[in-house]
Amino acid sequence: MAENGVEKKESYFDGGFFQLLGWRIVGALITCVTLGICYPWAVCMVYSYWTKHTVVEGKRLAFDGRAIQLFGNWIKWFLLTIITLGIYSLWLPIKLKKWQTKHTHFVD
């Protein structure tokens, strides 16, 4: 549909349930086997799946975050949570979302 003379392109998600389930199972297994050390890798793997299957107004998204980048933040956030007796954990979802958004781009 054209709105104000500009054609609006469709936004959609083209991923599937079983693909996501597979990635989450692999991520959970790796996280459990490594006693949580590889959790940032699992997070990056799932974020990558979500973004590469998302199209916003005709433009596909891509995620370029790396587990090693997230691991550094994860250690810092973990230490801050310990120092603040758990209070800092209230900010973790926002910190993680900001990091994810910083590494999400449109594919050219």
| pLDDT tens by residue, 18-67 | 999 999 999 999 999 999 899 999 999 999 999 999 999 999 999 999 99
In the chain, what are the domain boundaries?
11-106
**pTM score > 0.85 for this model?**
no
Is residue 89 very low, low, confident or very high in pLDDT (cuts 50, 70, 90)? very high
Rounded to 5 degrees, φ, ψ at 31 are: -65, -45
d(CA 63, CA 79): 26
d(CA 84, CA 68): 24
Is residue 82 very low, low, confident or very high in pLDDT (cuts 50, 70, 90)? very high
Confidence (pLDDT) at 1: 53
List, in order, residues 6 or more apart from 87 with CB less than 8 Å away.
81
List, in order, residues 6 or more apart from 14 with CB less than 8 Å away.
53, 55
pLDDT in tens, 67-80: 999 999 999 999 99
Asked whether residue 5 carries a pLDDT value surpassing 70, the answer given is no
